């Protein structure tokens, strides 16, 4: 089971409405989180926002993830809160 399936498990996202939109919007970021082997500490949808906390294995991985987020929401990023540390 991938990270996307974990947060948006079968049936869960459909009930949330906003979760479906966030899944589509941030799926490339969540896939990158998996590829970069980020240790996910917390991942949830709450109040129309996606909250992601994790520890990247390197600063380069952290920078790539944050850059991917900015390609999706370059200005405000009001619908995602990402706290990615290195360690």
pLDDT above 80 (res 4):
no
Residue ranges of the alpha helices (H) in 12-75?
12-16, 18-35, 59-72
Residue ranges and CATH numbers for the domains of the chain are 3-86 (3.30.70)
Contact 52, 43 (CB under 8 A): yes
Mean pLDDT check: name the lowest of 7-16, 23-32, 67-76: 7-16
State the angle between helix axes of 18-35 and 59-72 in degrees (0 to 180), rounded to the nearest 10.
Answer: 150
In this prediction, residue 19 carries a pLDDT of 77
Read off the pLDDT of residues 33-85 as tens digits, 9 standing for 90 and up: 999 999 999 988 888 899 999 999 999 999 999 999 999 987 776 889 999 99
Query: DSSP 3-state assignment of 54?
Result: strand
Contact 9, 45 (CB under 8 A): no
């Amino acid at each position: 089971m991938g990270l996307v399936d974990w947060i948006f498990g079968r049936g869960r996202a459909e009930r949330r409405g906003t979760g479906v939109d966030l899944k589509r919007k941030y799926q490339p970021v969540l896939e990158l989180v998996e590829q970069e082997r980020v240790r996910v500490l917390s991942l949830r949808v709450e109040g129309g926002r996606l909250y992601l906390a994790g520890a990247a294995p390197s600063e380069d991985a952290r920078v790539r993830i944050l850059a991917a987020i900015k390609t999706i929401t370059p200005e405000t990023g009001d619908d995602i809160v990402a706290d990615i540390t290195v360690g």
